[in-house]
Structure 1
Amino acid sequence: MSENFEIFLVATPGLEAPLAAEVRDLGWTPEVQPGGITIRGGWQDVWQANLTLRGATRVLARVGSFRAMHLAQLDKRARKFPWADVLRADLPVKIEAISRKSKIYHAGAATQRIERAIAEELGATIAADAANVVKVRIEDDLVTISLDTTGESLHKRGHKEAVAKAPMRETMAAMFLREMGFDGTQAVLDPMCGSGTFVIEAAEIAAGLAPGRTRQFAFENLASFDPKAWRKLKDAVTRRNAPLQFFGSDRDAGAIRMSRQNAERAGVAELTRFDICQISDLQPPETAPGIIIVNPPYGARIGNKGPLYGLHAAMGDVFRSRFSGWRVGIVTSEAGLAKATGLPFQPPGPIIAHGGLKVRLWQTVPL
C-alpha cells in the first residue's frame, strides 16, 4: 500500500458526467466508469472527497490487490495483507465479498477466509453490524480490497431531519443544478419545494458550505485517520457571502414548515425564503432571471394521471407568461407530462434511477 491509491467515487447511475465535472473542478483527474468515477490520491483526498463532493454517494478507498487462483492462495495472501495499516484491532469489521469470472467463484467461502485472516492476524472482531466495512471484489482472479470510508450515504448531509414524501436526494439535486449550469451566482426557485432540497443545496453551494461539514464519516474509525489533519482540512473550507436569492414555495403549509426548519439547521435560513403558494399565484422574485427547477408529482402511483396533465399545462402557462428570461428544469419520469407544459425543452438528459422510477431532467433555454 502507498499514499497513492485508487479512490472510487460512487455515483447515482446516469449522473456520472456531472460528478466527473465536479471532481475536475475540485482539482482531481476523473476517470469515468459506469456507476462512478475513479481518481488517484491518498488519505487526505479520501477525506476531502467525503467532505466536499456534492454528487458522490460513497467514497471507496482501494487500498490493495493481489491475485488468487484458489481459496488456499486467498487465505495465504489475505493473512499477509497489512491490515494494521488501515484497520484498528479494537473496532469490529464487516466483510462484503463478490466474485465474477474467477476460479474462486464462491463469494461466501471467500468472505470466510478473509474474515478469518483479519480476526487471527489483526485481532479484530468480525460483526455483521460493524461500522468498518471491507469490500472485496474478485474479478478475473484479481482480489481488490476496498474500504468504505463514508458510512451513511453522502446524500445524508447531517442537517435535514424533516422529509416530505418522495424526497429528492441531495446528491441528485446538486447534480441536476449543475446540469442546469448553476454555479452559485444565479437565483433559484422551486415552486413545489417539498422539504426544500433544491433550494437549500443551491444556497449552500452559493455560500461555499461543504456538504459534509456537520456529519461523521466511517474513515474516522480507520487506523489511517489523523484527527488534527482532518480538523485542519475542515477549517480550510470558508463560508462566502451570498445574497438572499433562493426561493421555495409549496401549497402545503407542512412542507414550508419543514423547509424552513431544514434551512435553519443547514445554516442558510438568511439566504432562503419559503412561502405557501399555489402555482397559479406564483410571481417572480425581485432578482435577475435565474433558474426554476421543480420535481413535480409524476403520478407513478396514481391510477388517473388526467389531473396531472392539467397541472403541468397550468404550470407551463405560468412560467411562459411571468418568467421571461428564466430557464426551467423539470425532473419527471413521464415525457408526456413534461410535454404537457408546452415549454420549449431541449432534448432530455440521461435516465436516472430515483426511488424505483426512471426520471430525466428536461430543461429549457431562457424563456
Structure 2
Amino acid sequence: MSSDPFEIFLVATPGLEAPLAAEAAGLGFEPEIQPGGLTVHGHWPDIWRANLMLRGATRVLVRIGAFRAMHLAQLDKRARKFPWDQFLRPDVAVRVEATSRKSRVYHAGAITQRFERAISEELGAPIAADAPITIKIRIEDDLCTISLDTTGESLHKRGHKQAVAKAPMRETMAAMFLREMGFDGSQPVLDPMCGSGTFVIEAAEMAAGLVAGRARGFAFEQLAGFDVAALTPLRGAEPVTRPATQFFGSDRDAGAVRMSGENAMRAGVADWVRFETRSVADLQRPEGPAGIVIINPPYGARVGNKGPLYGLHAAMGQVLRDRFAGWRVGIVTSEGGLAKATGLPFQPAGPIVAHGGLKVRLWQTGPLGG
C-alpha cells in the first residue's frame, strides 16, 4: 500500500466550516476550507483520530483513487482493476453511491451497477443496501473519484444519547456553537431550555477532555488491515481532567430534565452537570463566576404559531439582563426578529447554518452589564 498521505474530507454542517477548521488545526491538521467541509491530509491513524476526536465533523471521507473514464466500458474495466483488497474485506458488505456531473458517463444507476459488480466479482464482498461500508463515486468532467466513508453512522451520534427531545440540536452543531462563543472548558455553561441536554453535556465533555467518539463504533473498524490495538489508546474513555466548574440545564418539562440526566449519566459527566425543572421566569444565576448562557429556543418554524414566542423571548431577555450580569448569552434561532425581541445587546449574527431544513444563526452578546 502507498505510503503517501491520503486526501481526507471532513464533512461539516454547512455554515460551521470555520469553527471545524479551528478545531482540526488544534488537533494538528492543516485544514483547507471547502464548501461543506475541509480537506486535510494524513494516514490511517489520522483518519481514526479525526473520527474519534473531532466534535464538529459530521463524517470523514477518504479519497482512495481516481481515474478518467469516457464511457461505461472503460469505467467497468478500471473499476475491476482497482485494488479493492487494499481497503475492503471480502466478508464485509458494501454499498455504492454515485453522482455524475458534466461527464460523458452520466447515468448514476449505471455507474453504481458497474462498481457493485466489480467489487462483488473481483473481491467477493457482498453488496447490500444496509451495508456498514459505503463507497462514494463522483464523476466530474470525466474524472472518476473513489472515496470511502470511514465513519458509518453520522458523528453527531456520540453513542450515549438514547432519549431525544423534539427538534434536537445535533451534538456536532452544539460543540461548534460553544466554540464560536469562545468556550474553552473553564467557564460554566447554562442552558435554560435544555431539551435532551445537548449543550450542557457537550460542554461538560469538552471540559473533561473526553473523546467525542469514545462510546461508539466506526465503519473504518471493518476495513482491511484495521489495527484494533492501535485504536484502543486513542479512545480515551476516562476524563483527562476533572472540570473545575459545573454545567447547568433547566427546562419546564420534567420529562426533558429526566432525559437529560439519564443522557449525562451514560456520557459519564453526571458529576459535573445539574439539571432542574424550572421555567425561564424562575431562572437564577448559579453561584460562582460568570459564564455562558446558550439557548436553542423554539422559533416558530418548529412549533407553529410565532405570536406568543415574541413575548417568551422578551421575558427571557428581561430575566437574563436582570440576573446574569457578566455572563455572555448565545441564542440559536432561524428568526432574527425573535432574537431582537429579547432586547439583548447582540453582536452581528453569525453565519447561516443548515439545521434540519431550517437556516439558523448564532446571535451572541458580550458580557452583560449590571
With normalisation by structure 1, the TM-score equals 0.98
The equivalent residue for 2:219 is: 218
- Give the distance between the partners of 1:85 and 1:252, measured in 2 at CA: 52
| SS of the residue 1:248 aligns to | strand
Distance 1:299 1:236, change over 3 A: closer
Aligned to 1:201: 202
Give the letter for the 1:136 counterpart. I
Map of 2:56 onto structure 1: 55
| 1:325 shift after superposition | 0.6
What is the alpha-carbon distance in structure 1 between the residues aligned to residue 182 and residue 104 of structure 2? 47
Q: Deviations over 1:60-112 (max 9, x none)?
A: 11111111111111111111111000000111111111111111111111111
1:261-309 Cα distance to aligned partner (Å, 9 max, x none) = 0000000000000111111111111121010000011011445322111
Matches within 5 A, 1:82-93: 82-93=83-94
Any stretches of 5+ residues in structure 1 without a counterpart? none
SS of structure 1 residue aligned to 2:351 = coil
Which residue number in structure 2 is paired with residue 72 of structure 1?
Answer: 73
Letter in 1 for 2:257: I
* Separation in 2, partners of 1:33, 1:83: 28
Distance 1:302 1:55 in 2: 27
CA contact (8 A) 2:153 2:218 kept: yes
Shift, 1:2, TM fit: 2.7
CA shift digits 1:320-358 (9 cap, x unpaired): 111111000001111110000000001101111112211
1:237 shift after superposition: 7.5
Please name the residue that 2:286 is paired with: 285
1:232 Cα deviation after fit: 2.9
Q: Map 1:7-26 onto structure 2 (within 5 A).
A: 7-26=8-27
Establish whether residue 158 from structure 1 lines up as the match of residue 159 from structure 2.
yes
Q: Contact (CA 8 Å) 2:210, 2:236: kept in 1 or not? A: no
Separation in structure 2 between the aligned mates of residue 301 and residue 62 of structure 1, nearest angstrom: 37
Query: Are residue 348 (structure 1) and residue 355 (structure 2) matched?
Result: no
User: Shift of residue 234 of structure 1?
Assistant: 2.3
SS of the residue aligned with 1:51?
A: helix
2: CA distance between counterparts of 1:263 and 1:335? 31
Conserved? CA contact 2:213–2:235, under 8 Å: no
**Alignment partner, residue 2 of structure 2:** 2
Give the Cα–Cα distance (whole angstroms) in 2 for the partners of residues 315 and 198 of structure 1.
Answer: 18
Where does 1:120-131 land on structure 2 (aligned, <5 Å)?
A: 120-131=121-132
Matches within 5 A, 1:187-266: 187-235=188-236, 239-266=240-267
* SS of equivalent residue, structure 1 residue 28: coil
Counterpart CA distance in 1 for 2:304 and 2:134 is 42
Task: Name the % identity.
Answer: 75
On the 8 A contact 1:152/1:217 being kept in 2, the answer is: yes
CA distance in 2, matches of 1:204, 1:168: 16
Instruction: Deviation per CA, 1:157-209: give whole Å up to 9, x if none.
Output: 00011111111000000000000000111110001101100000000000000
Amino acid at match of 2:260: S
Quote the Cα distance in structure 1 between the aligned partners of 2:205 and 2:120.
43
| SS of aligned partner of 2:134 | strand
User: Which structure 2 residue ranges, 5 or more long, are not aligned?
Assistant: none
RMSD of aligned Cα (Å): 1.3
Partner of 1:144: 145
Q: Distance in 1 between matches of 2:280 and 2:238?
A: 38
Report how many residues are paired: 367
What secondary structure is seen at the aligned counterpart in 2 of 1:99? strand
SS of aligned partner of 1:8 = strand
**Contact 1:14–1:350 (CA under 8 A) maintained in structure 2:** yes
The question of whether the paired residues in 1 share the 8 Å contact of 2:15 and 2:353 is answered with yes
Q: Note the C-alpha offset of 1:239.
A: 2.0
* Kept after mapping to 1: 8 A contact 2:167/2:302: no
SS in 2 for 1:24: helix
The one-letter code of the counterpart of 1:330 is I
SS in 2 for 1:18: helix
Matches of 2:191 and 2:15 in 1, distance apart? Answer: 23
Q: 2:214·2:237 contact (CA, 8 Å) conserved in 1?
A: no
Secondary structure of 1:211's aligned partner: coil
Tell me if structure 2 keeps the 8 A contact 1:245–1:287.
no
